[in-house]
Structure 1
């Protein structure tokens, strides 16, 4: 046989091989056979060297050690890749941008970000990926497989990196520290994203408007506002969302799940961020302060919306008229004034409302409930704002001041009536 001759042909495709052993290993891709089976778990492999590396995850053996630090690896290739971090070598350079990479696979993966090529397609859904490793991990969302198990609790994960991050919640380890503040993080990626808060950099820029973002996932969500695409659809109703987390949150409304319970009252919530926000109603904590005025808020989203009162920004525009709003929910409620839709109906009378909170207030006219009580007198109110207005009768506070004269008022409506005197 001539050197380099490929006389072994695959019966399933056009591939040719110079050695029969290579052909036999290749055929396993077509047959799906995985002859090397682990006797300690359900994992199986096509190739012996992958099987040997896997067995080390059970024994803890890491025979390949770095001479420059304490790092150790189960494979020689893992060690060789690690050594490049000491040398700083990045021999694979992108011709389209300034990026450089330590290995060819990282470089090939990067090139697909320029071509938008996603050659690895899922057989069970429409998902597609740039890298084979990503589709392998994605398949676990269909199979439910979580092979990476925590030794300290019952948690299990589809990704090894997620397990490593989780373990740090037990150890408290946060090896990546910020140079600008005392912040410390368990992942380098989280540190890099955090630093953007200090630098003000927003590397993900929309080419259709002036919006820019610190994080890629927020950028992707923003782009759907231009395309109208909502790829995450609910199986129980017609609702669709731009993000997976939006869909997951929505699904809890069908299940009625509220797993996060307040220890100080009977309130329960669908997610952790909501209970964190709620707890601040007990503590009165308002950690988000405006740099332009004295306002302070319980939630970051609230201060972001508040800033629009200073900038005048109203990004949520009505398609049916010229109205524009600072809040998305305000736009949604406004649109119902065009459609006449009032989805929240009273069980006791024919009243119907655009907003659920308005229905809740209305229900109190039937029940007589007045949950907002004054600490200084016997007065009680249906709405929180009514109580706030009432408290000014005790404190004498008059926060609404006329710009034309020195008169001040305890209610905005009183100021509005007063201004008519100047405009007559």
Structure 2
């Protein structure tokens, strides 16, 4: 005996027909050949596969009968392009390997209804789609402009950077900082002043008028044991390497490497003292670009 139980008589009746009867009633789709013993399956099938297609696809291709949602869709455009290619002939005398090649050639070269990639057979309607395709598939990027120095070949990303490079490396105009007398390329003067001399004021520890309070505090009031640069000849320490070098040169090595550039016998332990000497004795700080030693000696 069958143990199956049902809540509704029609379910029981259908069960008896399918499981316990020699003749089973079958339902079939009136559009295609699908069959099923259950009517609900056939209804669901029609709703899913036939009614939806008929509602969405309203444009019918006159050449083959295939339906599309709209004439504006890329699917429809490409489909019709194939039919056009079959009827189209040109005088380019190209032997195509396949149908898609002919479609691509016809659209890109002749009809120009679709946009085509020049590296493959991809076609689309919108320029942005073509740009994305080339970037993602072929990794095509707009070449970056490079600015090359015609003297040394150095490369830079901007014209401004190239100009700065030339002014610093090839045509250096040397100027003297009005605060510390330090010489440097003219292009660096503003940056130097901003970095080193914009914090002027009176020190609240010793009362000195400092051109740069931050540097003064570090140089004059840093305890010796905390100084970064230690002298190997004595117990002194300095917060800056330049201070250590100057101390060693003046007090231990007794060197005078900075000679007067006007040709006199004067020599100094640092460039600022040399510059002050040139300005005081010779009238102006020496500039190799503007001064000629032979002319000076001749005078």
Q: Higher relative contact order at CA 8 Å, sep ≥6: structure 1 or structure 2?
A: 2
Task: Please identify the structure whose Cα radius of gyration is greater.
Answer: 2
Common fold: TM-score over 0.5: no
Range class of TM-score, shorter chain: 0.3 to 0.5
